[in-house]
Amino acid sequence: MSEAVAHDHHHAHPTGLKRWLFTTNHKDIGTLYLWFSFTMFIVGGIMALVIRAELFEPGMQIVKPNFFNMMTTLHGLIMVFGAIMPAFVGLANWLIPMMIGAPDMALPRMNNWSFWILPFAATLLVAPMFMGGNFMDGQGPAFGWTFYAPLSTNYQNLGFFVFAVHLLGISSIMGSINIIATILNMRAPGMTLMKMPLFVWTWLITAFLLIAVMPVLAGAVTMLLTDRYFGTSFFIAAGGGDPVLFQHVFWFFGHPEVYIMILPAFGIVSHIIPTFARKKLFGYSSMVYATASIAFLSFIVWAHHMYTVGMPKAGILFFTYATMLIAVPTGVKVFNWVATMWRGAMTFETPMLFAIAFVVLFTFGGFTGLMLSISTADFQYHDSYFVVAHFHYVLVPGALFAIIAGVYYWLPKWTGNMYSETLGKWHFWLSAISVNLTFFPMHFVGLAGMPRRYADYQLQFAEFNMMSSIGGFVFGLSQLIFLYLVIKCIRGGKKATDQVWDNPEGLEWTVPSPAPYHTFETPPAVK
């Protein structure tokens, strides 16, 4: 057991700030990613609460319309690029080497760099908020996280935004290259591709998606940049450009992007459910194929975000059919999870509770997704709160719950201590109830006709908006329990065993708890 620790003498660890600045250790970098992600989650969350406070009742009481638009924009961008994506990369850093029996990531220095770009990118993104004298007149981006041209090309501080996105893209691409290089080259002998844990599989596919679409995003923002500052007219109709082209380019990135935020979540849940059902994952290989199919389909459905731009009939039909097809592999995954639970011997520790909530609420988000795929009906849903409800269901009780479930599941392995199950249950039940109180009423106001990104609204939507706001605040405050619980767990608690759970599958459970600084310096044997 202490063999890995005993070998840990070849170089001295820097301590204090230097340890974190210069670290090339996958566990340290994973920790950095996770704390960065949590910080951004709080920042983006506060913005969400500003939105919910303003929408608490009709009339504008708290902020000005432009500040409101800035909040919706930055909330979206920060949650997508600052909270969800870095959280998955953090989990990948911690877990992939331990799951495949590798000593570290393949490219440790690049790993350090891809993390340390992020705080600068986030600063560039948020900085314009503090320009313009009076805080309430801040000049941050206010064109929606989708930054459609030509609204975005009119924005005076566009340069900040463009460089922030470029940096985020560089970070993601480097992270992905690292993950692919690690998975393809550093697996322990005997671990064939079809023996890889599902979290590794889903991340491998996600990394390819990232490498494919991040450059497209970079192209889109570069064209915005030249439109704004160098007199080109890619997207400006008055100069012969095409505003719809922007949407095609953006969503060619944007649709795979939403799967980038959910595929690793599928992986996490596929680890947790078997452990707590005490039964092997049902249909492992079909899970792999389904993930790959979803990834492929994600490239040919982008225009379903644009049904109302005036596409030709053939285009609308193609994107309708292609989008519906996604329901097939996604359904296979859900059925496999249910089949894993079926006739297991389940217990309901916090990770399992979050994982089950994930399956139920993500599936619900999938149902509304299927409804949105039907273009004719989408003419009513498009850009309404129905869409907001849909994507928050797949991203909050979807992606976010899976991340939280993963943190609970592996936290004892990371810290060597068990977390408080009582606090964990409080966190779960408060989150699960409030997340539904927040987002469920949005379906109703959306169907009844409330457009999204509205700073003020008709009186008929008042009650449901009030419910959403109350739910939002409860959800936000519940996350402080999580913060407290994690800090408490790091500082001490009941010692975790090496296995932590009841006979879980995977190499990460064969190393001591807490996992030593270096693991698998000699590769383990995989049967």
Partner 1 sequence: MSSNIMKIVLKSVSLLLLLTAAGTVFAEYNLNIPKPHTPNATVMYNQNMFSIWVCFWIGVVVFGAMIISIIFHRKSKGAKPASFHESTALEVAWTIVPFGILIAFGVYATSGILQVEDTTQKAGKITVDGKTWSWTDKNNKKSELNVKVVAHQWYWTYEILEGHKTVYKFDSVIDKSHKEASLKGKDVSKIKNYMVEVDKPLYLPTNTKIRFLITADAKDVIHSWWIPKLGVKRDAIPGFMNEAWTVIDASDNGKFFRGQCAELCGTYHAFMPIVVKAVSKEKFKEWLAAGKSESQKLAKVDWNKTNLMSHGKKVYEAKCAACHKPDGSGTPPAFPALKGSKIANGKAADHIGIVLKGKNAMPAFKTMSDADLAAVITYERNSWGNKGSVVKPADIKAARAR
Would residue 270 show up in a list of annotated catalytic residues for this protein? yes
Would residue 304 show up in a list of annotated catalytic residues for this protein? yes
Give me Rg for the CA atoms of the chain. Answer: 23
> How crowded is residue 133: how many other Cβ atoms within 10 Å of its Cβ?
9
* Min CB(446)–partner 1 separation in Å: 9
* Min CB(230)–partner 1 separation in Å: 16
The C-alpha atoms of residue 184 and residue 172 are separated, in whole angstroms, by: 18
448 token code pair: 């009844």
Choice between 88 and 235, CB closer to partner 1 = 235
Would residue 333 show up in a list of annotated catalytic residues for this protein? yes
* Min CB(330)–partner 1 separation in Å: 9
Would residue 7 show up in a list of annotated catalytic residues for this protein? no
> How crowded is residue 16: how many other Cβ atoms within 10 Å of its Cβ?
7
Residue type, 441: P
Choice between 348 and 517, CB closer to partner 1 = 348
**Backbone φ, ψ for residue 82 (5° rounding):** -100, -35
Would residue 145 show up in a list of annotated catalytic residues for this protein? yes
Would residue 259 show up in a list of annotated catalytic residues for this protein? yes
Choice between 382 and 427, CB closer to partner 1 = 382
Would residue 255 show up in a list of annotated catalytic residues for this protein? yes
The C-alpha atoms of residue 322 and residue 312 are separated, in whole angstroms, by: 16
Choice between 110 and 360, CB closer to partner 1 = 360
Catalytic residue among 155, 259, 410, 419: 259
Catalytic residue among 330, 368, 468, 469: 330
* Min CB(325)–partner 1 separation in Å: 7
The C-alpha atoms of residue 30 and residue 36 are separated, in whole angstroms, by: 10
Residue type, 370: L
Partner residues linked to 495 by β-bridges: 417
Catalytic residue among 452, 488, 518, 521: 452
* Min CB(442)–partner 1 separation in Å: 12
DSSP output for 99-150: HHT-SS-S-HHHHHHHHHHHHHHHHHHHGGGG-SSSGGG--S--STTTT-TT
452 token code pair: 């999204």
Catalytic residue among 52, 255, 271, 453: 255
Catalytic residue among 23, 73, 152, 172: 172
Put residue 457 in one of left, alpha, beta given phi > 0 → left and psi -120 to 50 → alpha: beta
Would residue 468 show up in a list of annotated catalytic residues for this protein? no
Choice between 3 and 456, CB closer to partner 1 = 456
Would residue 172 show up in a list of annotated catalytic residues for this protein? yes
Residues marked active site are found at: 75, 104, 145, 171-172, 255, 257, 259, 270, 304-305, 330, 333, 452
